Amino acid sequence: MLSDIDLKTKKILITGAHGFLGRHLVKNLLEKRKVPKENLFLPSVEDLDFKKWENCQKAVVGQDIVIHLAAMVGGIGANLETPGEFFYDNIIMGVHLMEASRQAGVEKFTALGTICCYPKFTPIPFKEKDLWSGYPEETNAPYGLAKKMLLVQAQAYRKQYGFNAIYLLPVNMYGPGDSSNLKKSHVVAAIIRKIYEAKKDNKDYIEVWGTGKPTREFLYVEDGAEGIILATEHYNKPEPINIGAGKEISIKDLVELICDLMDFKGEIRWDSSKPDGQPRRCLDTSKAKKEFGFEAKVDFKEGLKRTIQWYKEKIEQNYEC
């Protein structure tokens, strides 16, 4: 039976370390886990493009643990515009990196899937056993299926080679440091930006995609980083595992809540010509609690307040969010 891992004694490669989630995960490892900085290998995409096989080979040399966060991500618009890139970039990075890790004798590989892996019509709350019960929601199916193949690979490699690869299914994350670029951002950051700019420009309305009816679940990014690290330390089984908060909110209620927190009194105009995406999303997180004691800690409203404050401070410093 595989034992728990003390990360302080390991050499750790983190792909996507300079992204939104990656920065929080690295901070957790350095400050909370007290992992020596020299034990972390944090290449940027400029250093090593993981779509290239030889770069994956280079990256894993001498590493004990690989935490694969790097991904091409974006909202519904980006997924609709470049589905081929979302499929190819994500599948090729993961497949190459896991195979290179296996060949190099890496001790453990933590692969991140996505809630987009789940079927379009999954019973609420999403349970891991329902992962294969249907086709993903069409607007992000290429992305979701590309990431889902890492689960197939991880389970196949465990069966044939005894390779300790685990597979996590995180829900949408939000928090300080998230991109609000409207071409690629997720909904929380995008709404904060739209409201901020409407107030600055004295506009009395904002426009939001869809009808507002779908529900989503959101996990504060620091909680997400903690869940991934706990799994890396303690989880060594082939079955996928959800990482989330276990609560859902409609997009309509979300937008109204952010408007309230930002004191925006204007109109919300819904563009129903734009797609809603998956009807509902909410995870059953009981398995993560049972297997490695993970529970989300940050209250959603408190997390939104922190995110809004961060955004305002960075914009006032002329920082491109």
| Rounded-to-integer distance, Cα 174 and Cα 172, Å | 7
Three-state secondary structure call for residue 35: coil
Which helix (H) or strand (E) segment holds residue 132: the answer is none
Q: Are 190 and 208 in contact (CB under 8 A)?
A: no
What one-character-per-residue DSSP string does 272-294 give? TTS---SS---B--HHHHHHH--
For the question of residue 157 being annotated catalytic, the response is no
| H/E element, 121 | none
Instruction: Pick the catalytic residue from 88, 118, 135, 143.
Output: 143
Helices (H), ranges, the chain: 20-31, 53-60, 76-81, 83-104, 141-161, 187-200, 221-234, 251-261, 286-292, 300-316
Q: For residue 216, what are the β-bridge partners? A: 249
Of 208, 3, 245, the closest CA to residue 107 belongs to 3
Residues annotated as catalytic are 143
